[in-house]
Structure 1
Amino acid sequence: MSVTRKLPTVTLDATLADLYRRAGPKYTHKRIAQVMGPVHSAIQLTPNIPRNVKYLFQDSAFNEPAREDGAFELSAEARRELAISYVALVGQRDGFLSGDTPLIIFNSDVEGTPESHDRIEAQKTLAVLSDKQRPSVIFCSGYSDMPVKEENIDLLAYKLAPDALEGYALVAPLDTVWYLNSKEALAKSGLSTPKCDIIKVNEPGCDADGCCGVCRSRLDSFLIPVDCTGPRGRWYSEQSSKIYQRLSMRPLPFVFKNQQSYGGAGTYLIHNEEDRAKLLRDLQNGILRRTLSSVTEDNKHLEPSNIILSELVEDPIGTWGLSFFVTEDADEPIFLAVTELMLIERRYYIGSSVQYDRQDELKSKFATLVRDMSRWLCSFGYVGPVGVDVLETASPGGIHPQTRGNTNGAPDGRSGFHIIDINARTSGQLCLPLLRTHFTSRGLECAASFFMRIVKKREQFIDMFQEDFSNGKICILSWYDDPVSGVSFGNVVVGAEDINRLGEDVQRIRNISQEVSF
């Protein structure tokens, strides 16, 4: 714990616990625990956290093309890094913002690492928080170990929709949260979004056990076998043919999205025939088989395998992230910040930046959009944090009249704002508004938050930027030193005097690390 003595205390402007207390009478006096549990539908991340089956979640691992049969070809190293990233890294980062409330974090259970290592890493990260804002951390092996009754917990707040939370008292129903985070929900919302078409997938006629001998011999896999001779195989052929035909006929340009993803995974920007050919090739190399095979009797009402095709917003002049908190009063969301998204290839999210001295201006600019989204989310009974990705374009018309300002939600079908993703959950940009005073009190009007992968331990990284850490210019929101691989994973926030200096300071860290995307 010697590292923490070098670091200044971090006091947040607000915490998740504070925001829930302000959300309305239903939540003011409730003991709400933050459950920072992972959700993954490609693999089982740990021995005690099963693969998510009902609530399909299609991250980069799920959307990695491999073979026609859809089998995952993840190396042991890749599986290890997934467990660390989803269980330890994201859990610490969102847990950092929890406040004075129970915080449930799970053990990553990676091979060759003692269980105590997860605790030590989390404790080092959270130790910089002020005493009044530090959560009461509860470490668990799996969801079944959560001491809900023992800790007198009234409700569980969670990220995404873990299957294992069914049956618990939750701040919002799992079906609702899964749907609100789906691409189809946004497409149908009536909000200002790029125009979309939805390729509907019909329900399969039976499950694996009721299909054929081939399927019954492979009940350990959720994938429909390539050599299936029963109704599942015929259903797969019919649905995949329909999807391939629609994709082949779709006019260019367009955007392909699956229902649920994270950080841009499963999104393809199709500008030309070469892009279209790559999309079709990737789908044929396992991605579509995984997607269609994920429809079950329990989740068919959610239509998890539907495909969304939207117009491509070309030449955006702004790539914004809106953070706010939906309360019980739909017309009174708690505005938090407008940030700028850090993207690779315009689709892979790697971080966010903020200019604190522009927040009054940006709040006014997006006020109507935030209110409209709050009303929509509140109509489903959702209360909680929200992160929204918005592309801004110049005045409608110009050189791309079909893909600039052509939206679902605007009265005349045209708008300069295009909502491309709604995340009804804690998001990567949420930390930036909550750290505002921490930075501005030090004369730092800009900040950026991002994940990184680095071949240096926490102590070594802090030593490299000792002055910046001592001055409060750099904060660690999550960190995990992997003692087996020698690689560390972190989420840091960097503050700077202005936007130009911020770019320079971020690049100093980028020069010694790699990006992490999900």
Structure 2
Amino acid sequence: MDPAVPITLDYTLRDLYSDNNEDDLNTTLIYYPLQFGYMHESPSAKYVYGYTLQSDDEKAASSFAMAANMVPQRYAFSAGQMPLIILDFDSSNKLKEENHKTCQTAGELPTHQLDIRRTFSQLIPNQRPTLTFVNSPGSISLGSGAQIAVLLPTDCLSHLPHVVHPETHYEILSKRGLALSGLPTPPSQVIDTGLVDSDDPSLLKQEVARMIESIDQRQVPFVIKLPQSISGMGTFLITTEVERGRVKTLLAEQFGVMLRQLNRSNHHLYPCSIVLQDFVTGPVVALSLFITKTGQPRFIACCEQRFDEQGHWIGGSISYRQQARRRETFAVIMQMVADFLRSKGYHGPAGVDIVTDDRSGEQLIIDLNVRVTGTFHLGPLTGHFTKRGLFEAGMTTVDFPYSRDKFEQMFADDIRNGSLIVSGWVHGESSQLSHAAITIGARESDELDEYFGRIKTATLHS
């Protein structure tokens, strides 16, 4: 069978960074598994994230770990030919070190590096990132005049020159930052902590009780947002009193964990502030854009989002025929976001989740992700799909009980005809499970739904 034709993107992050700005040819991406930062931080870390608070469900924890390990390849798929440094980390450092030694002896690359290279090898050569793996932040070497762009600021990289100051980036990523931004959002209440640090256990206990009490005082339905969250983790929709009670019990412990991350180096960043927000009903879209250095917004894609039964984000879909209309529909709010981010000194990719209020018709921002989004790549893939007559596309993240080789054998025809792209894949360390990001294209929306169904069915085979 003939191999798949290499994928050509309409444009890449490199193109967007360098648009009318030759300085940004020196931008270096540094991506890492989500858990890298907090596994390498001290108890006095400045940049802390609520998504580290996970349940004790072993299967869910394993899936989350694999999803975290897939972050670098999934978010860098549309990077283009620019430097990409990946902090080489998995959840079992000792195992990784042993495997690394074995691979060095055998002249082979570790499996997780092969997974990443295999994903990028699907792209035409001049759109593949210039890839470097490093074992620690201290071993990172940048070119002359280079600045780094990251998904999330972290202490272990704060010594390096950033495109956007880490403190500023952390602020505009936060739910508090959005609530106080002046951008149109649902009515929101910010609950700040009065603590400067978490040294006094009695004060800590009192503060947890105060924050829990604020949840009691809010009328349902409403949304609770932890300060920094990702993929739906750290966001809780409260629609009933039963749900309020369940979430209060869950958060009573998690607030304590969160407040213990407070210290004198980060209290001015409000890392423990929560947001209580009115729940607004209406259609929601996920808008991806790029803000140039001069503050101009570049429309990338406007997608529908996909969530699992727990409310965690698992992907999204796009209708290419609707993109011109949606660009026009959301042009004003897109410019407002660009103006706000430029006022903070930010330029680069961003995502905006917008709800159109069923009652008033007002467009309201319910989330602002100041980084590459999970569906960003669906914009650069427009030409790849539409020239094949595929005007609906989507991406889903899913676990498979087998290897990438087997999956690609099962879907060989789809890969060859360009309707299916493996935009991320990681193999589990201690099981036969794999975690993947699968991007697909179809002619019509009902066919796309059927395609998603085929992918879901494939998770049951072993």
* TM-score of the aligned structures, taking structure 2 as reference length: 0.91
Partner deviation per Cα, 1:146-196 (whole Å, 9 max, x = no partner): 122xx4461111111121111211110111111111101111112121010
> Is contact 2:205-2:256 (8 Å) kept?
no
Structure holding more helix per residue: 2
Q: How does 1:283-294 map to 2 (within 5 A)?
A: 283-284=251-252, 286-294=253-261
Following the alignment from structure 2 to structure 1, what is the Cα–Cα distance between the partners of residues 121 and 178? 39
Q: CA deviation at 1:8?
A: 2.1
1:355 to 280, 299, 319: 319
Match of 2:264 in 1: 297
1:278 to 235, 239, 246: 246
**Structure 2 vs 1, CA of residues 347 and 378 (structure 1 numbering), >3 Å: closer, same or farther?**
farther
Following the alignment from structure 1 to structure 2, what is the Cα–Cα distance between the partners of residues 394 and 511? 35
- What's the secondary structure of 1:490's corresponding residue? strand
Following the alignment from structure 2 to structure 1, what is the Cα–Cα distance between the partners of residues 382 and 44? 36
**Structure 2 vs 1, CA of residues 185 and 281 (structure 1 numbering), >3 Å: closer, same or farther?**
same
Over the aligned positions, Cα root-mean-square deviation in angstroms equals 2.3
Following the alignment from structure 1 to structure 2, what is the Cα–Cα distance between the partners of residues 300 and 504? 49
**Structure 2 vs 1, CA of residues 247 and 394 (structure 1 numbering), >3 Å: closer, same or farther?**
closer
Match of 1:425 in 2: 371
Q: CA deviation at 1:377?
A: 0.8
Match of 2:21 in 1: 25
Match of 2:104 in 1: none
Partner deviation per Cα, 1:466-489 (whole Å, 9 max, x = no partner): 111100000111112236411111
Is residue 106 from structure 1 mapped to residue 87 from structure 2 by the alignment?
yes
Q: How does 1:313-352 map to 2 (within 5 A)?
A: 313-314=280-281, 316=282, 318-330=283-295, 332-344=296-308, 347-352=311-316
> Is contact 1:40-1:51 (8 Å) kept?
no
Q: How does 1:148-167 map to 2 (within 5 A)?
A: 148=142, 151-152=143-144, 154-167=146-159
Is residue 513 from structure 1 mapped to residue 459 from structure 2 by the alignment?
yes
> Is contact 1:42-1:51 (8 Å) kept?
no
Match of 1:128 in 2: 122
Following the alignment from structure 2 to structure 1, what is the Cα–Cα distance between the partners of residues 302 and 44? 32
Following the alignment from structure 1 to structure 2, what is the Cα–Cα distance between the partners of residues 290 and 26? 44
Following the alignment from structure 2 to structure 1, what is the Cα–Cα distance between the partners of residues 67 and 221? 34
Following the alignment from structure 1 to structure 2, what is the Cα–Cα distance between the partners of residues 80 and 472? 31
- What's the secondary structure of 1:385's corresponding residue? strand
Following the alignment from structure 1 to structure 2, what is the Cα–Cα distance between the partners of residues 252 and 91? 38
Match of 1:224 in 2: none
> Is contact 1:256-1:309 (8 Å) kept?
yes
Following the alignment from structure 2 to structure 1, what is the Cα–Cα distance between the partners of residues 350 and 328? 18
Q: Which has the larger displacement, 370-379 or 476-485?
A: 476-485
**Structure 2 vs 1, CA of residues 82 and 495 (structure 1 numbering), >3 Å: closer, same or farther?**
same
> Is contact 1:37-1:162 (8 Å) kept?
no
Following the alignment from structure 1 to structure 2, what is the Cα–Cα distance between the partners of residues 237 and 128? 53
Following the alignment from structure 1 to structure 2, what is the Cα–Cα distance between the partners of residues 450 and 359? 20
**Structure 2 vs 1, CA of residues 283 and 395 (structure 1 numbering), >3 Å: closer, same or farther?**
closer
> Is contact 1:356-1:446 (8 Å) kept?
yes
Q: Which runs of 5+ in 1 are unaligned?
A: 65-72, 209-231, 397-414
- What's the secondary structure of 1:297's corresponding residue? coil
**Structure 2 vs 1, CA of residues 52 and 27 (structure 1 numbering), >3 Å: closer, same or farther?**
farther
Following the alignment from structure 1 to structure 2, what is the Cα–Cα distance between the partners of residues 455 and 143? 33
> Is contact 1:255-1:309 (8 Å) kept?
yes
1:62 to 53, 62, 82: 53
Is residue 473 from structure 1 mapped to residue 419 from structure 2 by the alignment?
yes
Following the alignment from structure 2 to structure 1, what is the Cα–Cα distance between the partners of residues 118 and 205? 52
Partner deviation per Cα, 1:186-213 (whole Å, 9 max, x = no partner): 1111212101011110123x564xxxxx
**Structure 2 vs 1, CA of residues 482 and 426 (structure 1 numbering), >3 Å: closer, same or farther?**
same
Partner deviation per Cα, 1:268-322 (whole Å, 9 max, x = no partner): 11112111111111122x21111111111111001111111011113x2x22010
Is residue 247 from structure 1 mapped to residue 215 from structure 2 by the alignment?
yes
Read off the aligned partner of 1:433 and give its amino acid letter. Answer: G
Following the alignment from structure 2 to structure 1, what is the Cα–Cα distance between the partners of residues 383 and 145? 31
2:336 to 361, 367, 372: 372
- What's the secondary structure of 1:128's corresponding residue? coil
**Structure 2 vs 1, CA of residues 41 and 107 (structure 1 numbering), >3 Å: closer, same or farther?**
closer
Read off the aligned partner of 1:92 and give its amino acid letter. Answer: Q
Following the alignment from structure 1 to structure 2, what is the Cα–Cα distance between the partners of residues 339 and 52? 39
Following the alignment from structure 1 to structure 2, what is the Cα–Cα distance between the partners of residues 393 and 121? 42
Q: CA deviation at 1:233?
A: 1.1
Following the alignment from structure 1 to structure 2, what is the Cα–Cα distance between the partners of residues 265 and 480? 21
> Is contact 2:31-2:85 (8 Å) kept?
yes
> Is contact 1:337-1:359 (8 Å) kept?
yes
Q: CA deviation at 1:389?
A: 1.0
Q: CA deviation at 1:351?
A: 0.5
**Structure 2 vs 1, CA of residues 462 and 391 (structure 1 numbering), >3 Å: closer, same or farther?**
same
**Structure 2 vs 1, CA of residues 425 and 441 (structure 1 numbering), >3 Å: closer, same or farther?**
same
Read off the aligned partner of 1:7 and give its amino acid letter. Answer: A
- What's the secondary structure of 1:337's corresponding residue? strand
Q: CA deviation at 1:27?
A: 3.3
Read off the aligned partner of 1:363 and give its amino acid letter. Answer: R
Q: How does 1:38-57 map to 2 (within 5 A)?
A: 38-40=33-35, 44=39, 53-57=45-49
> Is contact 1:40-1:57 (8 Å) kept?
no
> Is contact 1:259-1:307 (8 Å) kept?
yes
Q: CA deviation at 1:508?
A: 0.6
2:5 to 3, 8, 13: 8
- What's the secondary structure of 1:266's corresponding residue? strand
Match of 1:85 in 2: 67
> Is contact 2:291-2:298 (8 Å) kept?
yes
Following the alignment from structure 1 to structure 2, what is the Cα–Cα distance between the partners of residues 49 and 449? 32
**Structure 2 vs 1, CA of residues 58 and 40 (structure 1 numbering), >3 Å: closer, same or farther?**
farther
Q: CA deviation at 1:387?
A: 0.9
**Number of residue pairs matched by the alignment:** 447
Read off the aligned partner of 2:165 and give its amino acid letter. Answer: P
> Is contact 1:478-1:491 (8 Å) kept?
yes
Is residue 35 from structure 1 mapped to residue 35 from structure 2 by the alignment?
no
Q: CA deviation at 1:461?
A: 0.6
> Is contact 1:39-1:52 (8 Å) kept?
no
> Is contact 2:36-2:89 (8 Å) kept?
no
Match of 2:170 in 1: 178
> Is contact 2:189-2:276 (8 Å) kept?
yes
Q: CA deviation at 1:423?
A: 0.3
**Structure 2 vs 1, CA of residues 196 and 345 (structure 1 numbering), >3 Å: closer, same or farther?**
farther
Following the alignment from structure 2 to structure 1, what is the Cα–Cα distance between the partners of residues 359 and 218? 26
**Structure 2 vs 1, CA of residues 58 and 110 (structure 1 numbering), >3 Å: closer, same or farther?**
closer
Q: CA deviation at 1:343?
A: 2.3
* TM-score of the aligned structures, taking structure 1 as reference length: 0.81
Read off the aligned partner of 1:496 and give its amino acid letter. Answer: A
Match of 2:106 in 1: none
> Is contact 1:63-1:266 (8 Å) kept?
no
